[in-house]
Amino acid sequence: MCISNINEMQCHRKLSTHYQRDINSPIEIEGLIEKRDWRDFMRKWCLVGCIWILFISIILGCGNTRKNLTRVDYKQNRTNGTYSDIVMLTDKKKLEKIERIFSKIKWEENVAVKRTRKEDIKATLFYVEEKNMPERLYEYEIWFHNDINKAVLIGDNGEQSYAMLNKELSKELQKLLNYEK
């Protein structure tokens, strides 16, 4: 503290010029503002970047639950009521076509279907749903109706499901499963 008025004024001037140089100096303030703005800018964009990385990771991690058809086993019903030997289908192109056909099917759930004859083909589709997990099996009974050029499918995967394929898909499935009657 300053003792006299003169000393007090000189002391006040010294203090004010000292503070002015250190704190109120335009160069210093601009530098502090620029540094502070840059830090805020970087924090904001780092936060936005982290949120995007998290969002993309969640989408990619949860979105990859697609079933992958690895194999189809089927056997044909012969005219004498016995079944042929099991045929194992592993050709990638044929599997992709079968998968495409089955993806277009609109299933009717919990339907009681009256069967007038035995199915033409019993097919088991093997899907890998998750890595390092066993395959899931889906069993289907297939009837080909050549008089109306359609196929009827019944799937029994816990619930009775029924579907009818149109002429085009029916012929394609019949060809892929080597069915002739």
pLDDT in tens, 45-96: 888 888 888 878 777 766 555 678 999 999 998 888 888 999 999 999 999 9
Please state, in angstroms and rounded to a whole number, the distance separating the CA atoms of residues 153 and 151: 7
pLDDT in tens, 92-136: 999 999 999 988 888 888 777 777 888 899 999 999 988 888 888
pTM as predicted: 0.60
Please state, in angstroms and rounded to a whole number, the distance separating the CA atoms of residues 159 and 153: 13
Query: Domain limits of the chain?
Result: 5-63, 68-176
Which residue, 138, 127, 122, 135, is CA-closest to 87? 122
Q: To 10 degrees, what angle do helices 92-103 and 167-176 make?
A: 150
The architecture CATH gives domain 68-176 = Sandwich (2.60)
